[in-house]
Amino acid sequence: MDLLLASAHHLAVLALVGLFAAEFTLIRPGLGGDRLRQLARIDAAYGLVAGIVIVVGLLRIFFGAADPGYYWGNHAFWGKMAAFLLMALLTIPPTLAIRRWIKAAETAPDYAPPAEEIKANRRFVHLQAGVLLLIPIFAAAMARGYGS
C-alpha cells in the first residue's frame, strides 16, 4: 500500500509541476484566443491535480508506512505544508483573472487581456515558482529524517 500511495503522490506532484510550467509559459503578453482557452483548461486541471496531491498525501499519512505522529511532529513536513499553502494562495489572483478573461472573451472573440493585468498575474506565477523550489527541499529533508 505504501508503494502505491507514494507512487501516486509523486506522479500527482509531477503532473502538478507540469501544469504549473504550462501556465507559467502561457501567461504572457499577447495572450488571447485559443491560448487563453487553453490556459483556462490548464488552470482548472492545475486546481484539480492540486486537490489530488492533497488527498493522496493525506492517504499516505494515515495508510502509509510511517506513523502519522512522524508527520505531525516534523518541522520539515510543516515547512512543506506551509509552502504548498502559500502556493495555493498565490494561485488565487491568476485564477480569478483567467476566469474574468474567459468571460470577457465569450462576448468579444478577439479579446486579449490587458498587458498590465498579464504583467501583474505573471508576478504571482513567478512568486509561485520561487515557493515551489522549497517543497522538494523540505521533502528531501523529511526523507532523511530531518525536522523531527
Instruction: Kindly report, residue by residue over 112-145, the tens digit of the pLDDT.
Output: 999 999 999 999 999 999 999 999 999 999 989 8
Burial of 110 (0-12, 13-18, 19+ CB in 10 A): exposed
Place of cell 478573461: 101
User: Side chain identity at 128, as an amino acid letter?
Assistant: Q
CA–CA gap between residue 43 and residue 49 (Å, rounded): 10
- In this prediction, residue 109 has a pLDDT band, given cuts at 50, 70 and 90, of confident
Cell of 147: 525536522
- What pTM, to 2 d.p., does this model score? 0.91
Domain ranges for the chain, please list them: 2-143
CATH assignment of 2-143? 1.20.120
- In this prediction, residue 86 has a pLDDT band, given cuts at 50, 70 and 90, of very high
